[in-house]
Structure 1
């Protein structure tokens, strides 16, 4: 895409805006920047034309969050006649997760446990292959959003191969 510089934000629809903002600020450490809305078109097809949603969909609130040195997060609180609740697994086609870089993954695990946030196995150190040097821990939000805590304080094995190095929030200048 001409002029592409990188991801600006990740948009996530939440069931409850207060709960979503609290999770992203109190648990992940993001900062609320602004909220606005509502957006709706009760007479036409604006919502379908612009966003591909039901023409009667309403965005009650949009909240933008600044999350450390990474991409911003945009939370949406929608209501729509055809709205569904997705209970995705990482193995589902089109599924996604958000990876959050942390300096100390053991401290992150202890914090999540203290806050009652469901976690999976880990932290799991990756010891072989191009991703060797990572440690990962999957966890989820109260509404089921999949997240991953990741760290690689000494880099990853692939970096020694001479190819492109992935951007990292641990050193945003690179």
Structure 2
């Protein structure tokens, strides 16, 4: 049995409209969800620190991590607003080989990046990883997402 935290199983993203978010993430990943279901009740709620819950969800399996897309019927969800510099803000980063091609694909899907992509250079204060490209964008509910074309220590071994 593994006791170290060396693998990530999934990232859960709470959304306002499950159908809309399924369409977004399927288009982004270029693959269909693995399943769609609902879960809830007091046992599920207590593990989350809630009184009761009902969650409609879908699972999207990527090569190295799963995305759980969650729409809470109960309790009623509220909109969180996080920008990347805020404490406890998180983002999900997709690894790509060609950042320019990936941005072109975003544009085809009607998704606009938050700003212009950057490619790390020596002037950015890095000791390695030159040529790594990154760009940020958001899903339909404002979840922070990133694309990275990694080089050097940012590349997966």
TM-score when normalising by structure 1: 0.78
8 A Cα contact 1:90 1:96, kept in partner: yes
CA distance in 2, matches of 1:134, 1:2: 32
Q: What is the CA–CA distance in structure 1 between the aligned matches of 2:31 and 2:89, rounded to whole Å? A: 23
- Equivalent of residue 144 in structure 2, options 143, 146, 155: 146
1:117 aligns with 2:111: yes
Q: CA deviation at 1:30?
A: 4.1
In 2, the alpha carbon distance for the partners of 1:137 and 1:167 equals 16
- Higher relative contact order, chain-length normalized (CA < 8 Å, sep 6+): 2
Deviations 1:21-67 (A, max 9, x none): 111111232431112213124xxxx34421123x13321x1211112
- SS of corresponding position for 1:100: strand
| Whole-Å separation in 2 of the counterparts to 1:114 and 1:167 | 27
2:39 match: secondary structure? coil
Structure 1: gaps (5+ residues)? 160-165, 169-173
* Equivalent residues in 2 for 1:91-102, closer than 5 Å: 91-102=85-96
* Secondary structure of 2:27's aligned partner: helix
Contact 1:100 1:149 survives alignment (8 Å): yes
Number of aligned residues: 152
Aligned to 1:15: 16
**TM-fit CA distance, 1:133:** 2.4
Structure 1 position 57 matched with structure 2 position 53: yes
* 8 Å CA contact 2:40, 2:52 repeated in 1: no
Tell me, what secondary structure is at the counterpart of 1:35? Answer: strand
* 4+ residue runs over 4 A deviation: none
Query: Residue 132 of structure 1: SS of its match in structure 2?
Result: coil
Gaps of 5+ in 2: none
RMSD between superposed Cα atoms in Å? 2.0
